[in-house]
Amino acid sequence: METEWKEKKADPTAVETLTRTLGCHPVVATLLANRGIDTPEEARTFLDPSLESLAKPYTLKDMDKAVARIVSAVENREKILIFGDFDADGVTSTAILNDFFTHVNAELTWYIPHRTKEGYGLKPEHIAMAAEQYVDLIITVDCGSDSFEAIEAARLEDMDVIVTDHHETPDPPPPALALVNPKQKACRSGLDHLAGVGVAFYLVIALRMAMREKGVWQEIKEPNLLKSCDLVALGTIADMVPLVAENRTLSRAGIDVMRRGKRPGLKALFDVSRVDTGVLDSDDIAFRVAPRINAAGRMSHARICIDLLCSSDRNGAEQKAALLDQLNKKRQQTEQSIVADMEQRIARHPELAQGSTLVMSDPSWNPGVLGIAASKAARKYACPVVLISTTQSPATGSCRSINSINIHKALGQCSEVLQRFGGHAMAAGLTIREKDIKNFSAMFESEISAMINGKDIKKTLDLDCALPIDTITKELVEQVDRLRPFGTGNPEPLFYCKDVTVIRSAIIGTRHRKMVLAKTADITGPTMEALHFNIDNPDDLPSHFSKIAFRIRMNRFNREVSPQIIIEEA
């Protein structure tokens, strides 16, 4: 499928103003304007975010109720259960609350459900388990917003439930004692971009404030919450929420904490992931660390991650990190098998991929890795994808979207044939009876078709601006790096240029090409090192490109620091 290249058009006046007032490169001013940052004040806040600028925690609805109940529980030695989700967002949320409550010597336990055996969210059987353990208060993290039955079961057991979450919330919401979720309609905090771990961290900030007023820190050393920002950054970046506003501030602070390597569990993960902590960035977290965290819940049990992240034992942390590395390798193999199976079926039956959606199911697919496979399929086939494993009853599915098509809304229109669904606009999960999959597929196709209203869904490449390769300098790369961390909502800048010639070329591994490029009009002039990963045909290597789309990076190989480009498409 041919990709459509779209260049963003920054306001020239804003670019000129930013260049002049900030003293920055015009390219950097263009990047800021492309991201909706078009005044010097907004730019300074974006480039130099401060923890002092964070929104106040009590702007979140029900935060006051949650804090009052939790402080009472801690004072009265009531037993608290932290109930988390099994992904990186959920386990980092659980770890943050575990660290804080352990610090204040609370009566505490935590629980992460098994992804396959128990599924997502708080359920009545978990309430029965909590009752057997004489739990007085349950605090959910990264889940709970649709747990009506479980919360009602807790009420019958005289057990309070506080929900902290960031997923889409039904209206009316479940009758929890407190629902701290910025996505609920009645919340006016403006913090709906937070990940679950961000909501949990705001709860901890509010608890520290309340305990300060009560004089708790006169007897116990007040915790330095900056140290917890490493977990906030990990969960936020892993969950792919927009890296803007509070998320950007907390992630940037957290990356700085990570680079110091003070948390044994993360240090062990960095080592096994071959991450250089000195230059660690959001890419390392998203593509190396987070997959290993998520592999536990996908292939085994996510409780391993809580033990790892909360561990003070370096040797024990190294053993758990090595286990996560092995689970991630197993996850990769399983995922590759599912993707290969899909592609073989589509090759035999091309009509499967000719609609506005792609819905497929199979009894042999591991439900734990369907989300990753669905993401790859959504990008390849340029449509919303639902993959369903019928290995157990009810069947379990993962959904991924593209081009801002709201699949959560579409699933809502198909709810009559779904047993359960939840998630976000771009990523969701569902459970369904196997006999209803065919009907669901037709309904989902109809809903998505209505959303796009007859328009072809195309693979698109959003380009920031033209950038001739002979103008790329070390200083420019350093200025662009001030926009980091990159991620959802703040994508890594993508540039383009035309008419370049390959001066030298070599294949690295089997499918990666390393090149030296120059402008065709001046091949004796300045050159630029380029890398092109996963090329289609290593036996047919062009010596000239009419145009290339690329990202700029700093090459730190062998301690030599120089700019290079990473080709996205040519």
Q: Tell me: the pLDDT tens digits for 513-554?
A: 999 999 999 889 899 999 999 898 888 899 999 999 999 999
Residue where one domain finishes, among candidates 282, 305, 320: 320
Pairing of strands 495-508, 137-141: unpaired
Tell me, yes or no, whether 215 and 73 share the same domain.
Answer: yes
Within a domain: 136 = yes
Write the DSSP string, 109-177: EEE---TTTT-SS--HHHHHHHHHTT--EEEEES--TT-HHHHHHHHHTT-EEEEE--S---SSPP--S
d(Cα 303, Cα 83) in Å, to the nearest integer? 11
Pairing of strands 107-111, 4-7: unpaired
Q: pLDDT at residue 143 above 70?
A: yes
d(Cα 558, Cα 199) in Å, to the nearest integer? 41
Residue where one domain finishes, among candidates 418, 433, 452: 452
pLDDT value for 493:
98
Write the DSSP string, 12-60: HHHHHHHHHHH---HHHHHHHHHTT--SHHHHHHHHS--GGGSPPGGGS
Q: pLDDT at residue 558 above 70?
A: no
Tell me, yes or no, whether 471 and 410 share the same domain.
Answer: no
Tell me, yes or no, whether 224 and 292 share the same domain.
Answer: yes
* Contact yes or no for 95/306 (Cβ under 8 A): yes
Tell me, yes or no, whether 299 and 384 share the same domain.
Answer: no
Please give the C-alpha separations between residue 46 and each of 41, 156, 246, 247, 449, in angstroms, as whole numbers: 9, 48, 10, 11, 38
Tell me, yes or no, whether 433 and 470 share the same domain.
Answer: no
Neighbour tally for 118: CB within 10 Å? 14
- pLDDT per residue as tens digits for the range 30-88: 999 999 999 999 999 999 999 999 999 999 999 999 999 999 999 999 999 999 999 99
Sign of the four-CA dihedral 34, 37, 39, 43: negative
Within a domain: 233 = yes
Q: Which domain holds residue 203?
A: 57-320
Mean pLDDT (whole number) for 217-244: 96
Tell me, yes or no, whether 84 and 183 share the same domain.
Answer: yes
Within a domain: 517 = yes
CATH of the domain at 379: 3.10.310.30
Write the DSSP string, 329-341: HHHHHHHHHHHHH
Tell me, yes or no, whether 490 and 547 share the same domain.
Answer: yes
Q: pLDDT at residue 510 above 90?
A: no
Tell me, yes or no, whether 68 and 132 share the same domain.
Answer: yes
Neighbour tally for 109: CB within 10 Å? 14
Going by C-alpha positions, the residue among 373, 401, 376 that lies closest to residue 387 is 373
Q: pLDDT at residue 557 above 80?
A: no
d(Cα 285, Cα 446) in Å, to the nearest integer? 37
Within a domain: 457 = no
Tell me, yes or no, whether 529 and 437 share the same domain.
Answer: no
CATH of the domain at 149: 3.90.1640.30
- pLDDT per residue as tens digits for the range 179-208: 999 999 999 999 999 999 999 999 999 999
* Contact yes or no for 550/527 (Cβ under 8 A): no
Within a domain: 308 = yes
Sign of the four-CA dihedral 436, 437, 440, 441: negative
Within a domain: 561 = yes
Domain count, the chain: 3
* Contact yes or no for 464/25 (Cβ under 8 A): no
Q: pLDDT at residue 560 above 80?
A: no
Q: pLDDT at residue 102 above 90?
A: yes
Question: Residue 491: is the preceding peptide bond cis (ω within 30°)?
Answer: no
Q: pLDDT at residue 418 above 70?
A: yes
Within a domain: 157 = yes
* Contact yes or no for 272/292 (Cβ under 8 A): yes
Within a domain: 6 = no
Residue where one domain finishes, among candidates 320, 335, 363: 320
Sign of the four-CA dihedral 92, 98, 103, 104: positive
Tell me, yes or no, whether 284 and 376 share the same domain.
Answer: no
